[in-house]
Amino acid sequence: MSAMVPRRFLLAVGFLGAGVGAASAQSGRFAVLPFGKFQLSARLVDTRSGQIVQVVSNDDPRRQDRAALDAIVQQGAERLASEDARAGLDPTQGR
């Protein structure tokens, strides 16, 4: 992970996700950069423990062109969904 996430933030994400019966929650950021570039970062959080399960980003400059935004977001979503399954976190099932 490129930056530390405050523990209270992770606990809040976990608390909110658990409050609606979710096994996992996602948080992240999107930043527009000069010259048609962007940065995307997303975290998958286990609502039971408040722990980050997976982080996906496009830190590689070759994956920051806004012309490929749809494909890059799709790849990130697929990586988070596959990690959800590996961790046993079924986002469609409440607790």
* pLDDT given for residue 93 in this prediction: 54
CA–CA distance, 90 with 83 (Å, rounded to integer): 10
* pLDDT given for residue 95 in this prediction: 43
Q: What CATH number corresponds to the domain at position 47?
A: 3.40.50.10070
The number of domains in the chain is: 1
**Cα distances (angstroms) measured from residue 60 to each of 49, 57, 65:** 30, 8, 10
* pLDDT given for residue 15 in this prediction: 67
Q: Which residue has the higher pLDDT, 24 or 39?
A: 39
pLDDT higher than threshold 80 for residue 55 = yes
The residue count for the chain: 95
Residue 75 in any domain: the answer is: yes
* pLDDT given for residue 14 in this prediction: 65
pLDDT digits (tens, 9 = 90+) for 58-79: 888 878 888 888 888 888 888 8
Burial environment of residue 25 by CB neighbours within 10 A (0 to 12, 13 to 18, 19 or more): buried
Residue 91 in any domain: the answer is: no
